[in-house]
Amino acid sequence: MEASESLLWQEYKKNNSPTAREKLILNYLPLVRYAAGRISPGLQGYFEFDDLVSAGVYGLINAVERFNPDLGYKFETFALSRIKGSIVDWLRSLNWVPQSVFRKTRKLENTLWELEQKLERPPEDHEVADHLGLTLEEYHKLLKQTAPVTLFSLDDYFRSSGDGVDNCSLQDLIPDSQAVDPVLSFEVMEAKQILAQAIERLPERERLVVTLYYYEGLILKEIGQIIGVSESRVSQLHTKAILRLRGQLSRKKRELIV
């Protein structure tokens, strides 16, 4: 943290200075555009980028008000999950995804899990399409339809777990080697471990997409350039990865409850 930034935090936290608060919010506005940019590829044709930015500003304000610089966290790490959460909560409040798409998502999630258990390996696209009675092109269209749901499917898993990580999002569970977290709860550590194990079981390409997107902070276009495929193909890989993770985590959750 730069000296000038540190002084702003001190002024705001000690004196509750409105001026320092406003300056901090303005300083970190690029984080909102960054978070909105990472979400927007899955929402093309549904929302304007500026709508996502507006929703994310509320998360930034909340982060500035709640952040404690004395704990040693990076503000960027602390804020990004709250900004994304604010955008996702806004999207969810609009109830804009038809229930039919949620049903298709659940069916696809179950199909991927069942085929993986039957074949003892991740199924190929054509195998999933055959099982669903679809052409390969129809299956890829289905992945595109369900992509928006995957924006918050894993966040919902952790938020509804009832095991002490109700306020966690997926981004909260991505490790940050530079963050100091002396009070990390056992439940959150366990959730991190469960997520890491689930990611490790993904097919290689899907695991790479998850790693580059969530751990390295790259956007889909950049990932496509790295692995040599189109942005739409990266979106497909991301959607399948999230559906597989959702299936694994849902079953793990049921095992823990039983």
Q: What is the pLDDT of residues 198-213, one digit of tens each?
A: 899 999 999 999 999 8
pLDDT for the residue 174: 53
Among 97-106, 155-164, 211-220, which stretch is predicted with the lowest mean pLDDT?
A: 155-164
pLDDT for the residue 196: 85
Q: Is the pLDDT of residue 6 over 70?
A: yes
- pLDDT, tens digit, for every residue of 114-124? 999 999 999 99
188 vs 113, which has greater pLDDT? 113
- Across 138-151, average pLDDT: 87
149 vs 110, which has greater pLDDT? 110
206 vs 43, which has greater pLDDT? 206
Q: How far apart are CA 138 and CA 12, in angstroms?
A: 54
Please report, for residues 22, 57, 60, 121, 253, the alpha-carbon distance to residue 29 in angstroms, rounded to integers and kept in the order given. Answer: 11, 7, 8, 44, 36
Among 1-10, 66-75, 155-164, 221-230, which stretch is predicted with the lowest mean pLDDT?
A: 155-164
Q: Is the pLDDT of residue 180 over 80?
A: no
Report residue 227's pLDDT band, with 50, 70 and 90 as the boundaries. Answer: very high
Neighbours of 248 (CB within 10 A): 21
Tell me the average pLDDT of the chain: 83
Domain ranges of the chain: 3-93, 99-257
* pTM, to two decimals: 0.74
Fold of 3-93: Rna Polymerase Sigma Factor; Chain: A (1.10.1740)
Report residue 220's pLDDT band, with 50, 70 and 90 as the boundaries. Answer: confident
Class of the 99-257 domain? mainly alpha
Q: What is the largest CA-CA distance in the chain?
A: 64
pLDDT for the residue 131: 96
pLDDT for the residue 51: 92
* % of residues, the chain, pLDDT over 90: 48
Q: In terms of Cα–Cα distance, which of 132, 91, 137 is closest to 112? A: 132
Question: In this structure, are residues 69 and 1 in contact, taking their beta carbons and an 8 Å threshold?
Answer: yes
Q: How far apart are CA 235 and CA 44, in angstroms?
A: 12
3-state SS assignment for residue 231: helix
